[in-house]
Structure 1
Amino acid sequence: MPKKRKLVLKRIVCAMGWTLAAGAAHAQSSVTLYGLLDGGLLYTSKTLNAATGQNAGHQFSATDGGMAPSQFGLTGTEDLGGGLKARFKLESGISVMTGGFNNSNGNLFGRQAYVALDSPYGTATAGLQFSPLFLALYGTDPRGFSQFGSGLELYVDNVLGTGAFNANGVSYTSPDIYGFRGSAMLAFGGTAGNFQAGRQYSASLQYENGSLLINAAIYSGNSGGTVNTPIPTTIAFWGRTLGTTYKFGIVTAKLQFVNYKVAQSFDSNIYSGGLDCYVTPQLDLNGGVYFTSDRNHTTNHSIMGALGATYSVSPRTALYAQVGVVDNHGAMDTGLSLNNALYGVQGTTIGTSVGIRHSF
């Protein structure tokens, strides 16, 4: 082979090597298995009899997700170069007590199942995902959406899985711009010729500056559509919230207003506040109070309060204890626990929850 041809071939091979090396660098990817298991014991002084609507007496039961939802999932990223990253998440809710589905809409990956594209201009996401309203509520809830004695019970009591698990969703979240971040989501109902059936949309705006965080969000969802899950996720309702948190030292104060207007049901205003304090890096104390009033009939109202303590025995394992009380009037049916005590009865109910939480 002539010397000149050998030189050209050598340069081509070298260029291909650099191209492959650059491609490998840009295509760096990772997949992570993660999860959280939470199990404990629950006591309530009163329990709703679903058949009669009356008090069935006190209960003492083993419960899944006493504080946090048990779950496992897969998440992955791929660096596409130029500031772009592709991401995915598949997340399933499970019960540590039965091994079945829980804390989701009842499907295999019924909590989250989406693919996303990150860029310097924001994040676009497609698939089953949490709504901006649900994320905003979580961000400023006085008790961090504990599954005992928090705003999460009030949310699920009103709309079940709607807004938490949004199928057929597409969303966009902006980057931080002078402390502001916005998010918008549209979920399609999937019914040909009827765009409004099962249609859901939500938007939020958050401002964060040092110790101060303020967020606001709205949600509008229609019934119907082709989405059919064991836990209903297309209840017709209108939701809105305004919340704030402020950190001073080891204490974080939280205030939140929420309105759930459910078709042919309650139009509930919820006012809540609470404090969270890390006494030590391992010990977290938390308390919150929630007042709910039905705007259609003010005789329907409730007040719920709860205190909790969490002690981290390791970076992945924690022990917790919670105590709460709820007082229902009129037709209000606020419960104390997402699992085993979602709905309550008239009068005062006292409850407590203790358990262990492990993440991996």
Structure 2
Amino acid sequence: MTPVRHNRGFRTLSVAAGVLFANGAHAQSSVTLYGALDQDILYTNKTLNPATMKNGGSQVSLVNGGWQPSRFGLTGSEDLGDGFNASFKLESGINVPTGGFNDSNGNFFGRQAWIALDSRYGEIKTGLQFSPFLIAVVALDPREFSFFGGSAAIYAHNVAATGIFTPNAITYSSPDFAGLRGRAMLSLGNVAGSFQAGRAYSGSLEYSLGFLLITAAIYDSNPGSATVTPIPSTVAFEGRVIGASYNFGSVILKASLTNYKVKSALNNNVYGGGIEYRATPALTLNSAINYITDPDNRNNHSLLASIGAQYDLSKRTLVYAQAAIVNNHGAETTGFSVTGELSAPAGSTVGINMGLRHVF
């Protein structure tokens, strides 16, 4: 989804470097410590006062994860022979400015905690993991799921961490069949006497033909899960996404339609599109525009537009600058930053951030 890019897009949510252990009597295995630190200075000309739901004034703040999430973790794999491989991942989100938890469900290993077995027949993964719906949304975001001005802020604004950090999940990912690949996930509610309470499922299909990629995914969950996390990760909602991308080499075009529906709470269609341009081996430029509208009430709508630039100082360190504007009408309170401006007041709100990111 090719040069190394510092955790850009979903493909780099599991960047790892530095083998700590590699040994085994009958099979090769490895364990790796990895991580990323990302923080930025954010300016917004308006903020949302939750008490009045009106403008609370401008703000300058040092926030965590302006481009991509800050995190650290352990990952490992073991070659079992005959084409079989076992792997695991434990990943925690961290808040660089404060040293606390962030970019997770609020638990210690609240981003990922899973074990997997894969072979030529596909992969089975169990534990806390990203849903196929989220993977599809990330793949279709021209801002590479930047935490500022992209699909990440829209996603979190609508359903918090649900479908991102999915608990009690079992996922099967198929091998590639002539460009076609599928994923299917079941998340259990762990409620005695009721299989349906808290149950969630998600699935996706993607088809690649040359430089064209077409992706579609669904998510559906029930209320009543026995799992409770500091940041809500079991909101009962229906999610649908379909879109395509085309890679011209240095230029990638993407467009998508996403729906988030929470019963008796919200119903938002998101029409998104944009472009990513690899200007030089070190410099990447991208922009996106998202129109959010409530199909049940056309008076509720938002427009979010953003641009960004990322410059690689090295293979591990980059600097970035981004700008966004969101215009809200009716009951919509769409923001443009996962940290610092997840919700915005009515009218136009402008934000600018500059940050530094280092991976290890």
The match for 2:164 is 164
Partner SS, residue 164 of structure 1: coil
Deviation readout 1:143-185 (Å, 9 max, x if unpaired): 1110000011111111001111111100100000100000000
Deviation at 1:298, TM superposition (A): 0.8
**Distance in 1, Cα, partners of 2:110 & 2:30:** 23
Taking the TM superposition and a 5 Å limit, the aligned residue runs for 1:300-315 are 300-315=300-315
Taking the TM superposition and a 5 Å limit, the aligned residue runs for 1:76-95 are 76-95=76-95
The match for 1:273 is 273
The match for 1:220 is 220
Percent identity, aligned pairs only? Answer: 53
The match for 1:54 is 54
Larger mean Cα displacement after TM superposition, 50-59 or 347-356: 50-59
The match for 2:20 is none
CA contact (8 A) 2:72 2:91 kept: yes
Partner SS, residue 49 of structure 2: coil
The match for 2:318 is 318
**Distance in 1, Cα, partners of 2:138 & 2:296:** 26
CA contact (8 A) 1:26 1:81 kept: no
Deviation readout 1:169-214 (Å, 9 max, x if unpaired): 0010000010000000000000000111111000000011221111
* Structure of larger gyration radius: 1
Deviation at 1:323, TM superposition (A): 0.4
The match for 2:340 is 340
**Distance in 1, Cα, partners of 2:91 & 2:102:** 12
The match for 2:196 is 196
Partner SS, residue 299 of structure 1: strand
Larger mean Cα displacement after TM superposition, 183-192 or 44-53: 44-53
CA contact (8 A) 1:126 1:168 kept: yes
- Residue type of the alignment partner of 2:92: S
The match for 1:327 is 327
The match for 1:11 is none
CA contact (8 A) 2:69 2:93 kept: yes
Higher helix share: 1
Partner SS, residue 226 of structure 1: coil
**Distance in 1, Cα, partners of 2:39 & 2:339:** 11
The match for 1:43 is 43
Segments of 4+ in structure 1 off by > 2 A?
23-26
TM-score (norm 2): 0.93
The match for 1:211 is 211
Partner SS, residue 336 of structure 1: strand
CA contact (8 A) 2:42 2:353 kept: yes
The match for 2:115 is 115
Deviation readout 1:316-335 (Å, 9 max, x if unpaired): 00000000100000000000
Deviation at 1:26, TM superposition (A): 4.4
**Distance in 1, Cα, partners of 2:225 & 2:291:** 34
Partner SS, residue 156 of structure 1: helix
Taking the TM superposition and a 5 Å limit, the aligned residue runs for 1:221-240 are 221-240=221-240
The match for 1:293 is 293
The match for 1:141 is 141
Partner SS, residue 55 of structure 2: coil
Partner SS, residue 105 of structure 1: coil
Taking the TM superposition and a 5 Å limit, the aligned residue runs for 1:241-256 are 241-256=241-256
The match for 1:6 is none
**Distance in 2, Cα, partners of 1:152 & 1:296:** 23
Structure 1: unaligned runs, 5 residues or longer: 1-22
Q: 1:41 to 1:211 in 2, by over 3 A?
A: same
Structure 2: unaligned runs, 5 residues or longer: 1-22
Deviation at 1:249, TM superposition (A): 3.0
- Residue type of the alignment partner of 2:352: T
Deviation readout 1:74-116 (Å, 9 max, x if unpaired): 0000000010000000000010011100000000000000000
CA contact (8 A) 1:221 1:238 kept: yes
**Distance in 2, Cα, partners of 1:162 & 1:173:** 20
**Distance in 2, Cα, partners of 1:296 & 1:346:** 19
Deviation readout 1:30-64 (Å, 9 max, x if unpaired): 00001011011000110001121110011100010
The match for 2:359 is 359
CA contact (8 A) 2:41 2:61 kept: yes
The match for 1:15 is none
CA contact (8 A) 1:122 1:172 kept: yes
CA contact (8 A) 1:266 1:295 kept: no
Taking the TM superposition and a 5 Å limit, the aligned residue runs for 1:96-111 are 96-111=96-111
**Distance in 2, Cα, partners of 1:336 & 1:178:** 38
